[in-house]
Amino acid sequence: MEDKSTRRKRRKKYFLRALAAAAGIVILGILMFGLEYTALMWNKFFGPRKESVRRTVFKATRSYNEAKLQDLTRYRLQYLRATTEEEKNALASTIRHQFAEYDENKLPPELRDFLRNIKYGG
């Protein structure tokens, strides 16, 4: 049989271990929350810059520029075939919207002139 002193020591030891385990879990939770918060702040700062670079690279790709060229060619053909002013105005509005930020210098001369005429008149 154990005496009271030994039982008390053993209970105290189990209590301290349980307390240490609970404290470890709390500290681990705080650490995980802190790391997640740091990652969010990191993305908040670097995310827009990363997206800007990604978009710039995308706009410089051959496939993007060829697609824009094909779109403008198709719009030009539709514009030339349009019979009413309403159709032409609707197409001109679409073209202005689609090519608002596109670099006109990447287009062949006839399409460049067409786009400038649609965007700026004249």
- Pairwise CA distance, residues 79 & 85, whole Å: 10
pLDDT score, position 1: 56
pLDDT tens digits for the chain (122 residues)?
567 888 888 888 999 999 999 999 999 999 999 999 999 999 999 999 999 999 889 888 999 999 999 999 999 999 999 999 999 999 999 999 999 989 899 999 999 999 999 998 75
Burial 71-90 (b: 16+ CB within 10 A, else e): ebeebbeebeeeeeeeebee
pLDDT score, position 46: 92
This prediction has a pTM of: 0.62
What are the Cα distances from residue 50, in Å, to 5, 61, 83? 65, 17, 46
